[in-house]
């Protein structure tokens, strides 16, 4: 197969949602259709001691939530699909923001009863910023929820995007009978508690008497009225508008009952974009270029606890990646060769000989990579848009077991490389401070240090408001500032100066008093 046709059949997307909307369950069912797994883990069922394929970390299995983005690839029809299942919990939003830089499109899962929730709104802002095409799956239709028309209005208003239903529910909750697939003109009938693929009936005409036989007179009439209203209110589906991020197709179903998922997947592979051009500081990189280029968007420590190995995830942006070929690590300016690049099915991995633009490849990392690094066939390129944001919560991290100092230091370094939390060393007392965007992060770090590195830590509270990266061309002014604020000066993992302001007032005063100093609230400057 030629380079162009290999790239054209790639579909790389993220599944995003508020916690508990059914995102991981949907991911599982998509994998089920792709033949990648043969039985789905009931994500939170205590009766079935299985857990979701994409939630493979021990803490994820215990909590029933996703705390790290999982990467999974599979073949479906003639397409190569790469799914990134992201954490929904806001404490892990930064991992999700970065993941969105590595995908070409997004599926948003919305709970029919809860509608659009805060986290979904935030993630949608990132998609809008990047003009990422979005598809919406309204989940849990077998439970009572909002009226579908009200929900469509809410989606338009809250997410700031035009919507167009491509399937439509017949009732919901305990009277839910199925969906009419507008995209394919057929009827999907729902059988409760039957975790199999639904019965599909081809309908040449929605006004035929056959519809009445299948769903009853009342529901048939209601469906015809709804369809008339949809055609009147919503303009016909325009694929160009979808690809430019201005229009979101909407599907209805129940991921837990494997209902409506196949319709979503079939439509998705047909209309979703293949890999798109990516902007670098130097130029725009086209996926069909012969030369390889890619960037690290995620690092994960301990994918295999037996080997204590770190894996750097590379999104391939152009050309073809080959095993045992020399590629340039742009930041280090040196050539590197990878003998064991891997492709993933959650934590199960296999060595790959080649991969194409759109694919995600895992490279063994011994500390040579950091998030945002670029690999190329030789050209100096710098991909942009992978910032670390200023943390909102801070704690001193202390060693609870002096015999395990080495393990603790290694654990902290590797976990910080993942980019989910940040390490600052206070220059005044040399104590280590961890900054995160949410309380749950501290629990996850403590748990992983103990279970993956055998190191115990304890937290001490510290009252801080914001971490700001500072720089200035006026070196005298910078030195003066650092002397005056000595107690609140720290350095980050890269050795950059960070000012830890303990209140908004102190920060504003510092900005007023030192006009020549630039204060940055994200590490990309």
CATH number, domain of 516, equals: 3.30.70.3280
Burial of 282 (0-12, 13-18, 19+ CB in 10 A): exposed
257 and 287, same domain (yes or no) = no
- Is 433 within the bounds of a domain? yes
CATH number, domain of 330, equals: 3.40.50.300
Q: Tell me, what's the pLDDT at 161?
A: 93
DSSP 120: H
Contact 138, 252 (CB under 8 A): yes
Helices 405-417 and 439-453 sit at what angle, rounded to 10 degrees? Answer: 130
Burial class (CB in 10 A: 0-12, 13-18, 19+), 59: middle
Does residue 385 belong to any structural domain of this protein?
A: no
Are 166 and 250 a contacting pair, CB within 8 Å?
yes
The helix (H) or strand (E) run that includes residue 278 is strand 278-279
And the tokens for 239?
């694929």
Specify whether 231 is located in the same domain as 307: no
Closest-CA residue to 32 (of 187, 197, 183): 197
Residue 195 is predicted with a pLDDT of 56
The whole-angstrom separation of Cα 201 and Cα 235 is: 26
Instruction: Provide CB contacts within 8 A for 116, sequence distance 6+.
Output: 110, 154, 155, 158, 159
**Nearest C-alpha neighbor of 361 from the set 352, 348, 370, 374:** 352
Together in a domain, 84 and 164? yes
Contact assessment for residue 141 and residue 253, using Cβ atoms and an 8 Å cutoff: yes
- Which ranges of 34-117 would DSSP assign to H, the alpha helix? 58-63, 93-99
In the chain, the largest separation of any two C-alpha atoms, in whole Å, equals 85
3-class SS at 297? strand
Buried b (16+ CB within 10 A) or exposed e, 165-184: bbbbbbbbeeebbbbbbbbb
How many Cα atoms sit within 13 Å of 186 on the Cβ side? Answer: 11
d(CA 165, CA 270): 16
Residue 382 in domain: no
Residue 98 DSSP SS3: helix
DSSP E strands, 6-104: 10-17, 70-76, 79-85
For 328, the token pair is 């340039």
**475 and 515 inside one domain:** yes
Per-residue pLDDT of the chain (525 residues; tens, 9 = 90+): 789 999 999 999 988 888 788 888 888 888 887 775 544 443 333 333 344 555 545 555 554 444 445 678 888 889 999 888 666 445 455 667 777 888 999 999 999 999 998 878 878 887 887 889 999 999 999 899 999 999 999 999 999 999 999 999 999 998 888 899 888 888 888 876 655 555 677 776 788 888 888 888 999 999 999 999 999 999 889 999 999 999 999 999 999 888 888 889 999 999 999 999 998 889 999 999 999 999 998 887 766 555 556 788 899 999 999 999 999 999 999 999 999 888 876 446 788 899 999 998 989 888 788 888 999 999 999 887 666 667 888 999 999 999 999 999 998 988 887 777 889 999 999 999 999 877 878 888 898 899 888 999 999 999 999 899 999 999 999 999 999 999 999 999 888 999 999 999 999 999 999 999 999 887 664
Could you tell me if 267 and 123 lie in one domain? yes
Q: What is the pTM of this model?
A: 0.77
pLDDT for position 306: 59
Q: How many helices (H) and strands (E) does the chain have?
A: 14, 31
From CA 53, how far away is CA 61, in angstroms rounded? 10
Q: Identify whether 176 is part of a domain.
A: yes
Burial category of 421 from C-beta neighbours within 10 Å (exposed 0-12, middle 13-18, buried 19 and up) = buried
Note the pLDDT of residue 197.
55
d(C-alpha 424, C-alpha 443), whole Å: 18
Q: How far apart are CA 524 and CA 330, in angstroms?
A: 17
Residue 167: which residues within 8 A CB-CB, separation 6 or more?
Answer: 179, 180, 181, 182, 183, 188, 250, 251, 252, 253, 260, 263
**110 close to 23: Cβ distance less than 8 angstroms:** no
Distances (CA, A) of 94 to 84, 298, 428, 510: 14, 11, 29, 27
DSSP secondary structure string, 200-254? EEE-S-TTSHHHHHHH-HHHHHHHHHHHHHHHHHSPPP-HHHHHTTSEEEEEE-B
Domains in the chain, number:
3
125 and 110 assigned to the same domain: yes
**12/128 same-domain check:** yes
Distance CA 29, CA 43 (A): 11
Q: Is residue 386 part of a domain?
A: no
- 271, 300, 330: which is the final residue of a domain? 271
Within this chain, do residues 216 and 306 fall inside the same structural domain, yes or no? no
The last residue of one of the domains, among 376, 409, 437, is 376
Residues 487 and 464 in one domain: yes
Task: State the DSSP string of 440-503.
Answer: HHHHHHHHHHHHHH---EEEEE----EEEEEE-S-HHHHHHHHHHTGGGEEE-TTS-EEEEESS
Give the domain extent around 289: 278-376
**pLDDT at 355 (0 to 100):** 92
């Amino acid at each position: 197969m030629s380079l162009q046709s290999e790239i054209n059949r790639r579909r790389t997307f993220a599944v995003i949602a508020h916690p508990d909307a059914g995102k991981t369950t949907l991911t599982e069912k998509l994998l089920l259709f792709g033949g990648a797994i043969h039985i789905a883990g009931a994500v939170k069922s205590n009766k079935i001691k299985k857990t979701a394929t994409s939630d493979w970390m021990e803490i994820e299995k215990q909590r029933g939530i996703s705390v790290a983005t999982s990467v999974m690839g599979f073949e479906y029809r003639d397409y190569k699909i790469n799914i990134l299942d992201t954490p929904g919990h806001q404490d892990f939003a930064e991992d999700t923001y970065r993941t969105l830089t590595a995908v070409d499109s997004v599926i948003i899962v919305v709970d029919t009863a809860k509608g659009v929730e805060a986290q979904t709104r935030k993630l949608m802002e990132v998609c809008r910023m990047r003009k990422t095409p979005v598809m919406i799956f309204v989940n849990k239709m077998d439970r009572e929820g909002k009226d579908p028309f009200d929900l469509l209005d809410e989606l338009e208003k809250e997410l700031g995007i035009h919507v167009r239903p491509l399937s439509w529910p017949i009732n919901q909750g305990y009277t839910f009978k199925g969906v009419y697939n507008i995209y394919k003109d057929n009827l999907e009938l729902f059988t409760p508690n039957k975790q199999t693929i639904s019965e599909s009936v081809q309908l040449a005409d929605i006004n035929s008497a056959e519809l009445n036989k299948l769903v009853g007179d009342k529901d048939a009439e209601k469906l015809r009225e709804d369809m008339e209203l949809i055609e009147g209110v919503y303009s016909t589906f325009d694929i160009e508008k979808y690809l430019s991020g201005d229009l979101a197709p909407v599907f209805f179903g129940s991921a837990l009952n494997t209902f409506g998922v196949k319709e979503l997947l079939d439509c998705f592979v047909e209309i979703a974009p293949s890999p798109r051009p990516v902007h670098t500081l130097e130029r725009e990189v086209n996926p069909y270029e012969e030369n390889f280029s890619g960037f690290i968007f995620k690092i994960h420590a301990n994918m295999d606890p037996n080997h204590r190995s770190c894996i750097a995830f590379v999104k391939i942006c152009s050309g073809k990646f080959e095993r045992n070929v020399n590629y340039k690590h742009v930041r280090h300016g040196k050539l590197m060769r990878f003998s064991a690049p891997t492709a993933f099915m959650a934590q199960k991995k296999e060595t790959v000989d080649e991969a194409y633009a759109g694919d995600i490849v895992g490279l063994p990392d011994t500390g040579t990579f950091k998030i945002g690094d670029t690999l190329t066939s030789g050209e100096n390129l710098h991909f942009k848009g992978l910032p670390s944001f200023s943390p909102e919560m801070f704690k001193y991290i202390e060693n609870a077991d002096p015999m395990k100092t080495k393990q603790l230091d290694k654990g902290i370094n590797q976990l910080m490389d993942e980019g989910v939390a940040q390490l600052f060393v206070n220059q005044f007392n040399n104590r280590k401070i961890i900054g995160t965007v949410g309380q749950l992060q501290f629990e996850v770090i403590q748990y992983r240090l103990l279970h993956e590195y055998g190191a115990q830590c304890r937290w001490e509270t510290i009252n801080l408001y914001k971490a700001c990266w500072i720089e200035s061309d006026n070196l005298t002014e910078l030195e003066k500032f650092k002397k005056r604020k000595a107690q609140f000066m720290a350095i980050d993992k890269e050795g950059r100066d960070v000012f830890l302001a303990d209140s908004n007032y102190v920060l504003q005063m510092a900005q007023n008093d030192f006009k020549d100093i630039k204060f940055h609230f994200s590490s990309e400057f």
